[in-house]
Amino acid sequence: MPRPFDRPAFLRRLFDRAVEVADPMRSLAAHLPEKPPGRVVVIGAGKASARMAEAVESAWGPCEGLVITRYGYGRPTRGVEIALAAHPVPDAAGAEATARMLELVSGLGEGDFVLALVSGGASALLCAPAEGVSLAEKQAVNAALLASGAPISAMNTLRKHLSRVKGGQLAAAAWPAKMLALIISDVPGDDPAFIGSGPTVGDATTPAEAEAILDRWQIGVPAHVRAALGRSGVVAPSDPRLARVENRIFAAPAQSLEAAAEIARAEGVEVRSLGDALEGEAREVAAAQARMALEIAAARRPGDAPVLLLSGGELTVTRRGDGVGGPNAEFCLALALALEGAAGIHALACDTDGVDGAAEVAGAVVTPDTLALARAKGLDPAAALAANDAHGFFGRIGGQVVTGPTLTNVNDFRAVLIG
């Protein structure tokens, strides 16, 4: 086990391993069939989609196609076009690229083959507002959802019914071509219907359920936007246009967490997995994990192995203030407050895509000195949490984790080390 001053570096090593395992260049090729004869079209969207396209071409050679990824996440490809667009709120570039993707797949025949590459982030990057809904209105709905604290399942249900591409509609547009969708999961439970709002997966939710989400999370929209839900084109799972579609998840949070756990066990650490599908308010989950950590610390005896609480999933933040934050940084700030400088407890929480919330920061690290260091600089941790300013807080004390684009996305990674 590293010496105490190395423990933040040890936690960072676990996180880096979790990201490495989910790199499409390492994992995608094993799930590719032989390149089919005839016309092959590669499409896709998400934060990992350009890297996925790069991996496909390394196996198949140059391909025809178009994928949409986040600004700064492009990769060199030889045939597949990489379009760049905004995330987490869609923009005109994403809408234009999505229109061209729909045009590319329309008119394909029964003998053609479509390879769809889908990862987290596709919900915003694939942007084709439902009939009667403007891009500005779709942007406003997305921004309100992100601030509401709604779980990803609710967000994606509403997004599907306000779209012409989500909820199986992209796959239906490519019919009767055969389609294989290779997917990187970033959602709790790994349900492909919720990854990127399921552009290649049929969906059984109804417009009434989407309306209920507007009401439950107090998302105010004009009457004509609410009316557009009644014209939803979401494709039912039994629709014959999906009969030639195969959806296959090849990378998921559980794999990355287990890879990190293997390193920890090799260092003599006892790993306690809290699961790869945690949801809920970041500050509430942090308070619960702080209680666990303090109970473990109180029960420790000399010579006991260190204990690692490892978890994944997707936490949410309900916007109460006007600070700069994200669920991983907010988890860390709330955890630090709950731990109150308890000796021997360190933590790291990061998003595996390198972007926590809308900031170009992956997350943060917590040490027993976090609160003392902040107060020595005149910072009020509780006020920062109340303002949802976790990124600003950790930025001022040097506690941020900045990775740049990781080119993958298997969602949150949280590690709390005790002892």
Question: Among all chains, which residue has been given the structure tokens 């993958």?
Answer: 408
pLDDT of residue 158: 94
Q: Alpha helices, DSSP H only, in 106-151?
A: 122-125, 135-148
Structure tokens at 309: 């609480």
pLDDT of residue 376: 97
Statement: 32-251 belongs to CATH 3.40.50.10180:
yes
pLDDT at 339 over 70: yes
pLDDT at 39 over 60: yes
pLDDT band at 2 (very low <50, low <70, confident <90, very high): very low
Question: Among all chains, which residue has been given the structure tokens 């990854």?
Answer: 195
- How confident is the model over 101-115, as pLDDT tens digits? 999 999 999 999 999
For the chain, the structural domain boundaries read: 4-19+254-418, 32-251
CB 358 within 8 Å of CB 143? no
- How confident is the model over 112-155, as pLDDT tens digits? 999 999 999 999 999 999 999 999 999 999 889 888 988 888 98
Q: Nearest CA to 401 among 370, 368, 355, 369? A: 355
Q: Alpha helices, DSSP H only, in 76-218?
A: 92-105, 122-125, 135-148, 152-161, 169-174, 207-216
pLDDT at 1 over 80: no
pTM of the entire predicted model: 0.91
pLDDT of residue 348: 98
pLDDT of residue 153: 86
The rounded percent of the chain whose pLDDT value lies above 90 is 92
CB 63 within 8 Å of CB 43? no
pLDDT at 255 over 70: yes
Q: Is 180 helix (H, G, I), strand (E, B) or coil?
A: strand
How far apart CA 405 and CA 50 sit, in angstroms, is 11
- How confident is the model over 366-391, as pLDDT tens digits? 999 999 999 999 999 999 999 999 99
DSSP codes of every residue in 260-285: HHHHHHHTTPEEEE--S-EEEEHHHH
CB 164 within 8 Å of CB 233? yes
Structure tokens at 397: 């004390």
- How confident is the model over 15-24, as pLDDT tens digits? 999 999 999 9
pLDDT of residue 42: 98
> Span 4-19+254-418: which CATH code?
3.40.1480.10
pLDDT of residue 374: 98
pLDDT of residue 5: 53
Q: Nearest CA to 155 among 183, 184, 120? A: 120
How far apart CA 123 and CA 200 sit, in angstroms, is 12
In CATH terms, are 4-19+254-418 and 32-251 the same topology?
A: no
Computed over every residue of the chain, the mean pLDDT equals 95
pLDDT at 41 over 80: yes
